[in-house]
Amino acid sequence: MGTEWVWVILIFVLLFGAKKLPELARSAGESLKEFKKATREAAYEDDTQKTAEAPRRMEVSPEESTSSSTSA
C-alpha cells in the first residue's frame, strides 16, 4: 500500500511541480476548513429552527385545571 502513495506523490510532483504543491495543499486545507465551518453552521441553524418550530406544550397551573373542571 505504501508504493501507491509514492506513485501518487510522484504524479502530483510531475503535474504541478514541487513549488506549486505547498500552495495547493494550503488551499485544499482552507477549503476543507471552510466546508466544515459551513456544515457546522447549517447544522446549528437547522437545530435552532427545529427547536423554534417545535410545538410548545401549554402548562396549566393546578388552580386553572381545577377551576375549569368544576365550571363544566
- Residue 37's pLDDT is 95
Supply 52's cell numbers: 423554534
- Residue 19's pLDDT is 87
- Residue 27's pLDDT is 93
pTM of the complete model: 0.49
What pLDDT tens digit does each residue of the chain (72 aa) get? Answer: 688 989 998 898 888 888 888 898 899 999 999 999 999 998 888 778 777 766 656 566 666 656 555 555
Q: Which residues contact 16 (CB under 8 A, 6 or more apart)?
A: 24
- Residue 36's pLDDT is 95
Residue with cell 388552580: 63
